[in-house]
Chain A
Amino acid sequence: DIQMTQSPSFLSASVGDRVTINCKASQNINKYLNWYQQKLGEAPKRLIYNTNNLQTGIPSRFSGSGSGTDYTLTISSLQPEDFATYFCLQHNSFPLTFGSGTKLEIK
């Protein structure tokens, strides 16, 4: 199974900050990496698919990058509605595996 190591687990930041969240796969996942945002009591929402493709309707302040085993989600200028938990997902091979999540909190 491919293990996804996500960091940091918690992130405290202010509105307007630039933040990055990382996911490291235990083997090459060929850019089959998605990013999700989840707010309390809601279903996850896909932000980015296949490393760097922005889901329709998602603001352009969200971006993704990476290759091989290392992937990054960047939020260029945090907005109040961005404070949530973020997860990565590898869908290169079964079993699909998620990162453990990053809780982004207001400083």
Chain B
Amino acid sequence: EVQLVESGGGLVQPGRSMKLSCAASGFTFSNYGMAWVRQAPTKGLEWVATISYDGSSTYYRDSVKGRFTISRDNAKSTLYLQMNSLRSEDTATYYCTRGPLNYWGQGVMVTVSS
């Protein structure tokens, strides 16, 4: 059974950093591209970033380019999202997803507020 478990969220002040992790199991992690998708409270879904199966290619939405970094450790079957210079508009539930967004984790809440 595919499982994706996010961790690392919480309350953070504007301008500070936070790193999310996603532990994957139930499939061969190194065979799949992965992505982060977020959803602000009571809002729709917003794609954040994607990384290829081997980490050689990454893609970001414009609003996070230069601030967020997606990465992966295939030996640990773990996906990461390093978020720097956080803004209030980054407040959302962040979901870890596999491949063409077919499997999703339960999400982790990130609140950016002073």
Secondary structure dominating the interface of A = loop
Supposing A94-B50, A95-B61 touch, asked if A44 and B45 sit within 8 A by C-beta, the answer is: yes
How many residues on the A side are at the interface (Cβ–Cβ under 8 A)? Answer: 20
**B44 to A49, Cβ gap below 8 A?**
no
Report the separation of the CA atoms of residues A94 and B45 in the bound assembly, to the nearest whole angstrom: 15
Report the separation of the CA atoms of residues A77 and B32 in the bound assembly, to the nearest whole angstrom: 35
Which residues of A are found within 8 Å of B46, using beta-carbon distances? 98
**A45 to B50, Cβ gap below 8 A?**
no
Contact residues of A with B, CB < 8 Å? 34, 36, 42-46, 49, 55, 87, 89, 91, 94-101
Contact residues of B with A, CB < 8 Å? 35, 44-47, 50, 59, 61-62, 95, 100-107
